């Protein structure tokens, strides 16, 4: 298990979240969301602590974290760019858009740019299918995105 | 006098700049000293016209669309606050042909009300269904839902009333109502529109379900890709709690119903009901064997109603206007209305709620206006990534569960994705397998292994066009599909052959086979 350094503040924040969530039914997903929302990822070094609080095995915690695409075990870039790969967006040229994004960012999916600014992720439907192709940057959604639009959005995020 | 201006808060409207439009109009109003109240409504569903700005006038709401932030000044110059003419003026919203041709029952309020205003909801006939339900026995409520003919709108089309009746008949200390809001099918967004545009109708539907079957706790399992729906739902739930529509002793009835939103985490398979329950319990979303049915042993082993957003959001109107009112819409065994979502390469994409029975052609051309690119529509995929691709020769099929079954297709959640003639159907078949491989929960072999082998076989087919082993690979993909269809544990592996085989059967030329 690769241990990624987290700060003392982050550790304290996580401890508080564990206490807050440990008694609710089916606590693991809400807890993992809370941790990721707070520190940006789910550090593997805290699996034992979560496991103990929720009466699970470390393997179970690991199993859940890795089952779901949403959870990450490493810090992402400052901003996360998601490009929708689903059928509706494909019908509107998302394949070209993803090729363009990979080329201009110099990364593949699940990778972060060298400057640590942007992480590129695929997503399978954003529910914006009447205005395909769709992209998100963090929690902001954009529809009818052309390659030029994407360049502008990326430039803005980089600023 | 304050003028009400409506600017959608719907995600799709936001995706084309609705927030910036709202800021620009607010700033312009301030600059001119005009008294304007901006209400952030849901979307009317004419997405190609977003951002649609509406102004309340004494003749009704007047629409201006599509508005960009730069249009703010000219709108004020044209006196749009009094509904005056402007290049973007579409006239009265209610008179728009696209809306007039629809039968909006489930979507009656979406785009009209302020989504988080309980007062607005009640002023537009909200909570009448619950009030009626509180005067009925559980069995009577279930009977109304059964008699309405409502079938699961998530895709499986199982009669909602029968599911409820099973839970009603179970003796248990705790029962649950679970709303499946893991709307992962590409080409669908009706659940999102309800949650962002009229969350109270879902809350009311779930409350009625709880009262009917004796469940005191509800969960909405919401996909993590919908942050705006999450915020809107949570705000609406809080408002309902404050006013006594949720919690202990609902409206003084002595009944309890609590509701909580739980975020999913990006696994498509969790839209399958047993996988969803596993996930709600805090586990990997592995599909369960059935039986036991979730209605008998569901969440935390307790009797559980699991219904889709649209199914639950349709319950209030049934309890308000009666089962017969709803059942009078539709055809055959498909009663009521279906919120259809036009998506993909389509000129006029958006939400069309119609009684069952309209044809695909009417949807694609009368409502959709043909393809976005102006090229011929070559194929449509109905019902999400596990739905069949239909060629032009099948566009006269009426939207009806049984009629679709007859042509080996599914209506699913009512999403229609259009493709123009540049689509490569072998590529789409490959993608269907690829998606299944990415999203498979891994529990059953046909899905876990079959999906990966499927990608490889399609690649072989593409590479071996005109060569001796081409026919062998075609046969192999058919055999593999047969195994997945009949041997998978759930619809993910079990229905991936629908897009694959329909692509192969209807568009053989894309696979290097002779036409038709």
Mean pLDDT by 10 residues, chain B (516 residues): 96 98 98 98 98 97 98 98 98 98 98 98 98 98 98 96 98 98 97 98 98 98 97 98 98 98 97 98 97 98 98 98 98 97 98 98 98 98 97 98 98 97 98 98 97 98 93 97 97 98 98 88
Which member of A26, A32, A124 has the closest CB to residue B184?
A124
Is the same domain home to A94 and A58? no
For chain B, say whether A127 makes contact (Cβ under 8 Å): yes
Is the same domain home to A142 and A88? yes
Each residue's pLDDT tens digit, A138-149: 999 999 999 999
Which member of B192, B280, B372 has the closest CB to residue A92?
B372
| Closest chain A CA to residue B268 | A124
Do β-strands B415-420 and B377-382 pair in parallel, antiparallel, or remain unpaired? antiparallel
> Which of these three, A27, A46, A67, is where a domain ends?
A67
Tell me which chain B residues have a C-beta less than 8 angstroms from the C-beta of A32.
265
Q: What's the total number of domains in chain A? A: 2
Please report the pLDDT score of residue A3 as a whole number: 58
Residue A48 inside a domain? The answer is yes
- Does B344 sit within 8 Å of A88, measured CB to CB? yes
For chain B, say whether A55 makes contact (Cβ under 8 Å): no
- Residues in CB range of B432: below 8 A, 6 or more apart: B385, B386, B454, B496, B499, B500, B503
Residue A74 inside a domain? The answer is no
Domains of chain B: 3-100 (3.40.30.10), 118-327 (3.40.50.11540), 334-420 (3.10.20.600), 425-511 (1.20.1440.230)
Which member of A26, A68, A131 has the closest CB to residue B16?
A131
- Does A54 sit within 8 Å of B262, measured CB to CB? no
| Closest chain A CA to residue B387 | A87
For chain B, say whether A45 makes contact (Cβ under 8 Å): no
Query: Residue B270, SS3?
Result: helix
Residue A73 inside a domain? The answer is no
Contact A90/A124 with Cβ under 8 angstroms?
A: no
Is the same domain home to A20 and A54? yes
Is the same domain home to A33 and A89? no
Q: For position A84, which CATH number holds?
A: 3.40.30.10
- Does A70 sit within 8 Å of B266, measured CB to CB? yes
Residue A49 inside a domain? The answer is yes
Q: B58 to chain A nearest CA, in Å?
A: 32
Full DSSP string of B385-420 = GGSPEEEGGGTT-BS-HHHHHHTT---TTSEEEEEE
- Preferred mutation among A91, A128, A153 to probe B, highest tally of B CBs within 10 A: A91
Is the same domain home to A23 and A91? no
For residues B7 and B16, what is the distance between their CA atoms, to the nearest angstrom? Answer: 12
For chain B, say whether A36 makes contact (Cβ under 8 Å): no
Please report the pLDDT score of residue A1 as a whole number: 46
Please report the pLDDT score of residue B272 as a whole number: 97
Is the same domain home to A86 and A148? yes
pLDDT band at A81 (very low <50, low <70, confident <90, very high): very high
Is the same domain home to A95 and A152? yes
Q: B250 to chain A nearest CA, in Å?
A: 23
Please report the pLDDT score of residue B515 as a whole number: 83
Is the same domain home to A117 and A139? yes
For chain B, say whether A110 makes contact (Cβ under 8 Å): no
Number of H helices, E strands in chain B: 21, 16
The token pair that represents B366 in the structure block: 């009368």
The token pair that represents B496 in the structure block: 């991936």
- Does A63 sit within 8 Å of B284, measured CB to CB? yes
The token pair that represents B83 in the structure block: 């509904």
Provide mean pLDDT across the span A92-100. 97
Is the same domain home to A118 and A153? yes
SS (H, E, C) chain A: CCCCCCCHHHHHHHHHHHHHHCCCCCCHHHHHHHHHHHHCCCCHHHHHHHHHHHCCCHHHHHHHHHHCCCCCCCCCCCEEEEEECCHHHHCCCHHHHHHHHHHHHCCCCCEECCCCCEEEEEECCCCCHHHCCCEEECCEEECCCCHHHHHHHHHHHHC
| Closest chain B CA to residue A94 | B344
Is the same domain home to A53 and A99? no
| Closest chain A CA to residue B422 | A91
Residue A2 inside a domain? The answer is no
Q: Rounded to a whole number, what is the distance in angstroms from the first to the last CA of chain A?
A: 35
For residues B488 and B497, what is the distance between their CA atoms, to the nearest angstrom? Answer: 11
Please report the pLDDT score of residue B516 as a whole number: 64
Residue A26 inside a domain? The answer is yes
- Does A141 sit within 8 Å of B300, measured CB to CB? no
Beta-bridge partner residues of B415:
B341
Q: Rounded to a whole number, what is the distance in angstroms from the first to the last CA of chain B?
A: 66
Please report the pLDDT score of residue A4 as a whole number: 72
Residue B217, sorted as left (phi over 0), alpha (psi -120 to 50) or beta, turns out to be beta
Cβ-Cβ pairs closer than 8 A, A with B, add up to 152
For chain A, say whether B415 makes contact (Cβ under 8 Å): yes
Please report the pLDDT score of residue B362 as a whole number: 98
Is the same domain home to A21 and A58? yes
In order of A1, A98, B408, B448, B504, the CA distances from B498 in angstroms are: 41, 26, 8, 17, 10
Which member of A26, A129, A141 has the closest CB to residue B344?
A129
Residue A1 inside a domain? The answer is no
Residue A127 inside a domain? The answer is yes
Tell me which chain A residues have a C-beta less than 8 angstroms from the C-beta of B261.
none
Query: Residue B330, SS3?
Result: strand
| Closest chain A CA to residue B267 | A68
Contact B400/B493 with Cβ under 8 angstroms?
A: no
> Which of these three, A67, A96, A114, is where a domain ends?
A67
Which domain covers residue A115, as residue numbers?
79-158
Is the same domain home to A92 and A141? yes
């Amino acid at each position: 298990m690769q241990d990624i350094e987290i700060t003392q503040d982050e550790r304290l924040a996580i401890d508080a979240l564990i206490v807050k969530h440990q008694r609710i039914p089916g606590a693991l997903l809400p807890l993992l969301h809370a941790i990721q929302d707070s520190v940006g990822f789910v550090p593997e070094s805290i699996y034992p602590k979560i496991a103990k609080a929720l009466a699970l095995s470390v393997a179970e915690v690991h199993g859940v974290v890795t089952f779901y695409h949403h959870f990450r075990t490493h810090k992402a870039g400052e901003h996360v760019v998601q490009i929708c790969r689903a059928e509706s967006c494909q019908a509107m040229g998302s394949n070209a858009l993803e090729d363009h994004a990979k080329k201009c960012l110099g990364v593949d999916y699940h990778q972060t740019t060298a400057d640590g600014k942007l992480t590129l992720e695929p997503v399978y439907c954003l529910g914006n299918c009447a205005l395909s192709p769709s992209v998100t940057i963090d929690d902001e959604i954009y529809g009818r995105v052309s390659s030029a639009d994407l360049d502008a959005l990326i430039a803005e995020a980089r600023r | 006098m304050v003028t009400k201006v409506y600017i959608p808060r719907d995600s799709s409207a936001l995706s084309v700049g609705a927030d910036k439009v709202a800021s620009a109009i607010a700033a312009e109003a301030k600059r001119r000293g005009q008294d304007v109240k901006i209400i952030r409504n849901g979307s009317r569903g004419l997405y190609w016209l977003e951002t649609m700005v509406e102004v309340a006038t004494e003749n009704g709401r007047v629409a201006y669309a599509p508005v960009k932030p730069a249009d703010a000044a000219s709108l004020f110059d044209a006196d749009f606050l009094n509904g005056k003419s402007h290049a973007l003026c579409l006239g009265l919203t209610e008179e728009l042909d696209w809306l007039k041709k629809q039968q909006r029952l489930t979507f009656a309020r979406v785009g009209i009300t302020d989504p988080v205003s309980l007062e607005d909801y009640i002023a537009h006939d909200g909570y009448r269904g619950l009030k009626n339900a509180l005067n009925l026995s559980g069995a009577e409520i279930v009977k109304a839902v059964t008699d309405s003919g409502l079938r699961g709108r998530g895709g499986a089309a199982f009669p909602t009333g029968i599911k409820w009746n099973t839970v009603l008949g179970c003796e248990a200390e705790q029962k649950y109502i679970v709303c499946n809001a893991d709307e992962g099918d590409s080409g669908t967004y009706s659940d999102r529109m309800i949650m962002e545009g009229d969350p109270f109708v879902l809350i009311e539907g779930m409350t009625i379900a709880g009262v009917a079957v004796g469940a005191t706790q509800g969960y909405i399992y919401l996909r993590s890709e919908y942050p705006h729906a999450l915020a809107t739902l949570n705000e609406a739930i809080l408002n309902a709690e404050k006013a006594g529509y949720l919690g202990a002793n609902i409206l003084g009835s002595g009944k309890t119903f609590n509701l909580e939103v739980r975020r999913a985490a990006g696994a498509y398979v969790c839209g399958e009901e047993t996988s969803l329950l596993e996930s709600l319990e805090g586990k990997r979303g592995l599909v369960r064997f059935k039986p036991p049915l979730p209605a008998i042993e569901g969440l935390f082993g307790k009797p559980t109603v699991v219904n889709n957003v649209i199914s639950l959001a349709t319950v209030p109107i049934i309890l308000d206007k009666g089962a017969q009112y709803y059942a009078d819409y539709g055809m055959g065994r498909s009663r009521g209305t279906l919120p259809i979502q036009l998506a993909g390469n389509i000129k006029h994409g958006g939400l069309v709620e119609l009684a069952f029975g309209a044809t695909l052609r009417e949807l694609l051309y009368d409502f959709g206006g043909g393809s976005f690119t102006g090229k011929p529509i070559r194929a449509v995929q109905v019902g999400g990534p596990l739905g069949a691709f239909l060629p032009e020769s099948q566009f006269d099929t009426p939207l009806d569960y049984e009629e679709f079954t007859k042509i080996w297709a599914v209506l699913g959640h009512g999403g229609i994705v259009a493709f123009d003639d540049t689509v490569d159907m072998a590529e789409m078949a490959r993608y269907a397998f690829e998606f299944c491989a990415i999203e498979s929960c891994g529990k059953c072999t046909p899905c876990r292994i079959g999906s990966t082998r499927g990608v490889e076989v399609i690649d072989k087919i593409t590479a071996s066009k005109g060569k001796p082993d081409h026919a062998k690979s075609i046969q192999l993909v058919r055999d593999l599909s047969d195994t997945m269809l009949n041997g998978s544990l759930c619809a993910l592996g079990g229905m991936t052959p629908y897009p694959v085989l329909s692509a192969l059967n209807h568009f053989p030329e894309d696979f290097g086979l002779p036409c038709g």
